[in-house]
Structure 1
Amino acid sequence: MFSIPDAQLCHRIEFEAGTSNNIILSESEACVAKDLLSETECEIHTIDLQIAELCHQREHNAARLERLRTAVAPHKRLPPEILSWIFRLSCEDARIKLPHCPERWALRHVCSRWRSVAINDRQLWDCISVDLQLRPGIYTQDDQLADLLRSQRLLDIILPRNGSISLSFRINGLLDVIELAFDKLIKPHSGHVTELHLGIPALSFPLFFGMLPDQFGALESLDIGYVSWFPSDGDYPSINKFPPTLRSFSIRGHHVVYSCFCSPELNWSYITHLDISQVLDLTLRKVVPILRRCTNLETCHCAILDDDHDSPHVALAHLHTLDISLGSGAVLDVFTLAALKTLIVWFDDPLPLESIAALIYRSTRGLQRLDLHNFSQSQSECDFDILAALFAATSLRILTARSFVFPKWILEQIGRRDILPQLEDLECHLDEETISTFLDTVESLFRQNVSDSRASAGKFRRAVGIYPMAFDFACADGMLSAIDRAQNLEELHKGTVCLVSSEIL
């Protein structure tokens, strides 16, 4: 049995002989040292076993902790709607940088329920934009082809297999690559695309036209433009049939592209919304034949350069909104619009008030909104008789006329509701003589909101007066007083009253 040596001997063995090679132990001291060595090794081995047991216990408890945390995770008690909302908030509108390796797609590294929400909530992915346009020195053909293939893989993952899709697709470059893009990105999903925004080279139009109408059986809205020109001496492709579901049609570009949609076989009667305002150099002669075939048209945005006195009359019984840019006021003379509610006119000088008033009188007495915008931003003179005829539409609720100054007598009659009795929103230009009258008119209209008990009377809510910058500097004190009065009216009547410099607009 090993006896415990005295402390002095232990100190000599461990701290003297154990730290110096010059001290040599005696035979008896060496025996004691061997016993101490053996005992210490046993203690170390025992401690190692204890450490191993503790490590095993820690790993066991760590695994339990992970399972318990998963069991009580907050997202497991949240409904999918809230999870979807959180996921959408975490997804910014910035362009998605597609991963080069599909195995590293980020959705595969989140928890299974988040991944399920991200993939199965179709509201996250039902509006997709793909832009593969070449940019010299920045975005090359190799980049385009690589992104095309990655986009195919991504769309196969995220696009819903049923329901509607809104797809925006822009591409240019080689025709073979564009055809590949149609085959890989559009055709597999065309059956449930309801809204399509397309920007493609004009020479690739036949690729798209060949898919209509059969491959777009659910298409409701089509916005088409081109990103390169037709050859000047080329044959222009044409489309002969729209999908019967199509209701909204927009086209952008040169009038040559517009010619692709002029086939007499094309069924325009389906269209309820038409936007040709971004077609360059469009003439009335080209517009009228299509408009006459849009028998169910409800809203129309167009830009027309000139008038054609030989153009037939156009009567659109269902059109309630017309937004038109004019090269000549006489363009309006070809229209009769029985259901017109909103008329927005963009024009160059001179202001075509007579044509506008005639259109309103000829078409309807139910006009509710009239916007007049001058491209030149200059102030126009007003013929009093024509202006009075223009305001004969007693149903008018919104009047925006930034380009000319109302005479004082018109403002006074508006303030008494002798004209425009249902007016709710007024925006017009001002000069030094009319700014005070304008504020008097606004104050009178606000007061009548309370005092006027007529059911037909509109509740006035907004007024904007636009004054020239020169007036601001020349009459600084008067302008400050007028602005203070406008602010007081706004606070008192809980409406909107603004005086704005023309330089701001």
Structure 2
Amino acid sequence: METINASACSNCGFATSDIYTDLPVFPDYLLETNEPPTDSETFELEKAAAECRSRISQLDTTITALLSSLEKHRRMRQSAEEQIRRGGAILSVVRRIPTDILVEIFNWTVPDEARKRAMNRCPWVLGRVCSRWRAVSLALPELWTIIDRKIPLAMVKAQLDRSIPYPLTVELGFSDTGSVELLIACSARWEVADVEMRPFMGPVLAAVQGRLPALRLKYNDNNGFRLFGAFSSAPALRDVSLSGRASLELPWSQLERLNLKLSNPTGLNQLREAHNVVELSVTGRPYERLPVADVMELPRLRTLLIKDGVFLQSLCLPALEDVYVSMDVSSVPSLIQRSNCYIKKFSTDVQCVSADIIAILENTPGLIELRITAIQDVQLLLSRLTVPASEMTAYARPLVPALRVLAVSNVSDAPACTHLIAMAESRRASPVCAEPSLCVFDFIKWTGLNLHALETLAMLREKGFTIEWLTGPQSMDRYRSWRSNYP
């Protein structure tokens, strides 16, 4: 039998050979006939078969060894990858962040206002990453200043200790009176208090009277407690949010920012004393005219969000500049005339008609922003905002010449699109009008614009106009963002 010509592999050390060239040659011509082989041919065939069986045995041994080596090398490769991963973790940018930068990042985890926070979130979660992060978080009192009403008593104690001497944002509404008493003992540090009034809290909260030097207040009372005076003395109190059936004695004359979501309109009579309020939001259930004989004047009020415009009949607001109405805009013109105010921004999300909006515009010559989310006959409004050729003079007084921002909806068909283009071009050409940036809402379309909208958008952009055409979720997000500018 012939031997295998072999040599050692320089990589694995195993023998290599050319197994194809040294195999015995069978007389293949015998396959082309059914004649039996001769004795000599039979001998040669049996000998060749024996050699092949021997070669197979040798190759099986070699294959087993190679597979073992392959597995060994696979394990070595996995070990090398694990070492790379470990080394990468050690060299991680996060691990090498300087402490002062880490402090700045941690400070950004503190929200500006009190809000619901799960106990496994910041700042508690920061200390679970590593000992260094825990040490840094414990060294930053400002991280521990927001105390959620849902956390256990032990965590309340820990946060009060760790936050010294910083001002606190507290939520009062705990089922555990011990937590409330702990927080009341620290009332001199309260900066923001979010109070969910409970039956047991009245006598306990009375202890904070006269001990609130830095307070801003958010107070909700759905039970209708009698007039409550715990917050009547708070020299820094400027910002208050009331909801439910709250009835509070407050230093009304020093308040500047009010958010009222009251279920009883008679509670709004307290506004009469808030003659320094600058920003006011009155939402909740629809309101009626206040049950008072005369009109309530708020001389410094500049920003107003009102759910039901009927309530405007009870107000005189000479400094009003920015108004948002969610229901019934019909009382807005009379408010402007009675107040002799100079409105710069008007927004509404009520389903309205152009006649109501035009009546408002006729009384707001200095209007800069107009935002409407639901208007039935937008073509009429756009035609009134279009400056006629006869008024293209320096002496003309078109409707709201200072208008710089216009947001409208229902510009979907060809006539409305044509009016939009004509309006934009006319106000650009007018010597007395500002060129408005445009925002068009299409709340119905959630995937794309129709052909008229696409052509109009392309045409206005080609002419150099600033325009957005928002659909579905984008429209809703922009609409909701308007309210963030109000109390």
Task: Name the TM tier (shorter chain).
Answer: 0.5 to 0.7
Bigger mean CA deviation after superposition, 431-440 or 294-303: 431-440
Structure 2 residue corresponding to 1:247, chosen from 235, 238, 242: 238
Structure 2 residue corresponding to 1:149, chosen from 146, 154, 158: 154
Change (3 A) 1:74 1:335: closer
Q: Does the alignment pair 1:183 with 2:186?
A: no
Specify the SS of the correspondent of 1:85.
Answer: helix
Specify the SS of the correspondent of 1:498.
Answer: strand
Match of 2:165 in 1: 162
Q: Please give the alpha-carbon distance, in whole angstroms, between the structure 2 residues aligned to 1:453 and 1:503.
A: 34
Specify the SS of the correspondent of 2:373.
Answer: strand
Match of 1:229 in 2: 223
Change (3 A) 1:193 1:238: closer
Match of 2:425 in 1: 444
Specify the SS of the correspondent of 1:387.
Answer: helix
* Counterpart residue identity of residue 214, structure 2: A
* Counterparts of residues 181-330 of structure 1 (less than 5 Å): 181-184=179-182, 186-212=183-209, 214-219=210-215, 221-226=216-221, 229=223, 237-239=228-230, 241-253=232-244, 255=245, 258-259=246-247, 261=248, 263=249, 266-277=250-261, 279-280=262-263, 282-283=264-265, 285-288=266-269, 290-303=270-283, 304-308=286-290, 310-326=292-308, 329-330=309-310
Specify the SS of the correspondent of 1:333.
Answer: helix
Gaps of 5+ in 2: 1-89, 388-396, 477-487
Q: Please give the alpha-carbon distance, in whole angstroms, between the structure 2 residues aligned to 1:130 and 1:247.
A: 23
Shift in Å, 1:412: 2.8
Change (3 A) 1:498 1:293: same
Change (3 A) 1:86 1:105: closer
More helix by share: 1
8 A Cα contact 1:225 1:252, kept in partner: yes
Q: Deviations over 1:252-304 (max 9, x none)?
A: 22x2xx23x1x5xx421011111112x22x22x3313x111001010111135
Q: Please give the alpha-carbon distance, in whole angstroms, between the structure 1 residues aligned to 2:324 and 2:204.
A: 36
Specify the SS of the correspondent of 1:486.
Answer: helix
Shift in Å, 1:487: 4.4
Structure 2 residue corresponding to 1:117, chosen from 136, 151, 156: 136
8 A Cα contact 2:354 2:380, kept in partner: no
Normalized against structure 1, the TM-score is what?
Answer: 0.62
Q: Deviations over 1:226-263 (max 9, x none)?
A: 4x635xxx86644472301100111122x2xx23x1x5
Change (3 A) 1:406 1:424: farther
Specify the SS of the correspondent of 1:403.
Answer: coil
Structure 2 residue corresponding to 1:481, chosen from 434, 438, 452: 452
Q: Please give the alpha-carbon distance, in whole angstroms, between the structure 2 residues aligned to 1:480 and 1:108.
A: 53
Q: Please give the alpha-carbon distance, in whole angstroms, between the structure 2 residues aligned to 1:120 and 1:491.
A: 56
Q: Please give the alpha-carbon distance, in whole angstroms, between the structure 2 residues aligned to 1:105 and 1:408.
A: 56
Bigger mean CA deviation after superposition, 414-423 or 80-89: 80-89
8 A Cα contact 2:127 2:137, kept in partner: no
Specify the SS of the correspondent of 1:404.
Answer: coil
Q: Deviations over 1:406-455 (max 9, x none)?
A: 5645413423382111212222343647522443146427x82xx6776x
8 A Cα contact 1:414 1:441, kept in partner: no
Match of 2:13 in 1: none
Match of 2:371 in 1: 400
Normalized against structure 2, the TM-score is what?
Answer: 0.64
Match of 1:130 in 2: 148
8 A Cα contact 2:457 2:469, kept in partner: yes
Match of 1:359 in 2: 335
8 A Cα contact 1:206 1:237, kept in partner: no
Shift in Å, 1:367: 0.8
Q: Please give the alpha-carbon distance, in whole angstroms, between the structure 1 residues aligned to 2:407 and 2:220.
A: 34
Change (3 A) 1:246 1:200: same
* Counterparts of residues 61-80 of structure 1 (less than 5 Å): 80=99
Gaps of 5+ in 1: 1-69, 133-143
Change (3 A) 1:443 1:105: closer
Shift in Å, 1:96: 3.1
Task: Give me the CA root mean square deviation.
Answer: 4.1
Q: Does the alignment pair 1:464 with 2:455?
A: no
8 A Cα contact 1:311 1:334, kept in partner: no
Change (3 A) 1:79 1:373: same
Q: Deviations over 1:292-333 (max 9, x none)?
A: 10010101111352124644211111000111111xx54322
Q: Please give the alpha-carbon distance, in whole angstroms, between the structure 2 residues aligned to 1:488 and 1:81.
A: 51
Change (3 A) 1:79 1:458: farther
* Counterpart residue identity of residue 224, structure 1: Y
8 A Cα contact 1:332 1:356, kept in partner: yes
Specify the SS of the correspondent of 1:400.
Answer: strand
Match of 2:479 in 1: none
Q: Please give the alpha-carbon distance, in whole angstroms, between the structure 1 residues aligned to 2:434 and 2:474.
A: 31
Change (3 A) 1:502 1:382: farther
* Counterpart residue identity of residue 420, structure 1: V
Length, aligned pairs only: 369
Structure 2 residue corresponding to 1:96, chosen from 119, 138, 149: 119
Q: Does the alignment pair 1:497 with 2:478?
A: no
Match of 1:139 in 2: none
* Counterparts of residues 30-49 of structure 1 (less than 5 Å): none
Q: Please give the alpha-carbon distance, in whole angstroms, between the structure 1 residues aligned to 2:295 and 2:470.
A: 42
